[in-house]
């Protein structure tokens, strides 16, 4: 889905605090791929793999970049997951995470959000991640 005209950055993306790429907002795969390509160091390969798992698990997934983070949902502006670069890890947010089984490991100030933090050299349990993605895609999303 790419119903808005997305403008690719003229030069290399600026890295914000924590090394998070500053990418113009936009719907569709193109801005998400630009975000992933701008992720620094080891985070780029992890971001690429997360995107692949999400797309394989939920073939009709809707993608966008908002607030300098890739978002994934089942319809425009209704999201079940996003991720974001921080200094030492990638933070994956499941917006209805407390409804997943098992519940992702890291709590949030928001009562329903749960996080998965991925650090350098950490093996991602891809089967568990794909299961969380499949579960999350079936839940009501978060309107943003």
Q: What DSSP string runs through 83-117?
A: EEE-SSEEEEEETTGGGSSSPPSB--SSSS-EEEE
Total domains in the fold of the chain: 1
In a domain, 81, yes or no: yes
Domain assignment of residue 33, yes or no: yes
Is residue 12 in a domain?
A: no
CB 12 within 8 A of CB 46: no
Residue-number span of the structural domain to which 56 is assigned: 18-143
User: Binning pLDDT at 50, 70 and 90, where does residue 4 land?
Assistant: low
- Does residue 10 lie in a domain region? no
**pLDDT by residue (tens digit) across 85-109?**
999 999 999 999 999 999 999 999 9
* Contact status, residue 76 vs residue 62, Cβ threshold 8 Å: yes
Which pTM does this prediction carry?
0.92
Phi/psi at 61 (5° precision): -60, 145
Average pLDDT over residues 69-73: 97
Residue 79: in which H helix or E strand, if any? strand 78-85
| Beta bridge partner(s), residue 82 | 71, 93
């Amino acid at each position: 889905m790419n119903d808005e005209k997305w403008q690719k950055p003229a030069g290399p993306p600026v890295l914000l605090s924590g090394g998070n790429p500053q990418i113009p907002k936009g719907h569709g795969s193109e801005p998400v791929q630009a975000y992933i390509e701008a992720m620094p160091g080891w985070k780029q390969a992890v971001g690429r793999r997360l995107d692949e798992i999400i797309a394989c698990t939920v073939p009709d997934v809707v993608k966008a970049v908002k607030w300098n983070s890739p978002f994934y949902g089942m319809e425009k502006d209704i999201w079940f997951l996003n991720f974001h670069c921080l200094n030492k890890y990638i933070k994956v947010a499941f917006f209805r995470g407390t409804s997943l089984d098992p519940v992702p490991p890291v709590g949030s100030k928001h009562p329903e959000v749960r996080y998965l933090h991925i650090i350098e050299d950490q093996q991602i349990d891809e089967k568990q991640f794909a299961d969380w993605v499949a579960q999350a895609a079936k839940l009501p999303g978060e309107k943003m």
